[in-house]
Chains A and B, each alone.
Chain A
Amino acid sequence: RKEVEQDPGPFNVPEGATVAFNCTYSNSASQSFFWYRQDCRKEPKLLMSVYSSGNEDGRFTAQLNRASQYISLLIRDSKLSDSATYLCVVNQGGGYQKVTFGTGTKLQVIP
């Protein structure tokens, strides 16, 4: 089993739709979780950290389920500019700086 698994997609959704991505991780010691966004041929950029209680940033909501070892990202009212690959990122445990990236989920928002 891969350390971090994501559905590669692509997810093709119309503008205004709500879309959700899940990510599962195998290391039960992992403590820090992130979603990064990567545009085509660009570098990854932090979208948001994922906190135990769940957190929201505008149209984006991230949730963590430790018992089932998955995190999710919900995007409401999709915009064309949301089209990108979304990378799930998990650390190795505790405050360890090394992280593992998932393969990414590609989102295409269609007019």
Chain B
Amino acid sequence: QSVVTQPPSVSGAPGQTVTISCTGSRSTIGAGYDVHWYQLLPGTAPKLLIYGNNNRPSGVPDRFSGSKSGTSASLAISGLQAEDEADYYCQSYDSDLSAFVFGTGTKVNVL
């Protein structure tokens, strides 16, 4: 079973920067597959935040940025706002399973 690991939670005060890590393996991120990020707010449809490691879809603020290196990736949220309090998931692909894989998810708390 593929596991892509994220910290359960991260916290920051308004205006600060928080970073969420996403650690994969040789069959996922380490195999060269790109990483994508989603935001889940209660009661709403999941939203694509970052695709292809560091690209923002139209309408996503530039406070959100992504990066990838080796078997890991990260999402940074700068200028943290109360509306950023949500669950965030990374997603890649697993060549051993021939399946999409999601990270374990991270709850962002705005203090």
A binds B: no
Give chain B's interface residues, CB within 8 Å of chain A.
Answer: none
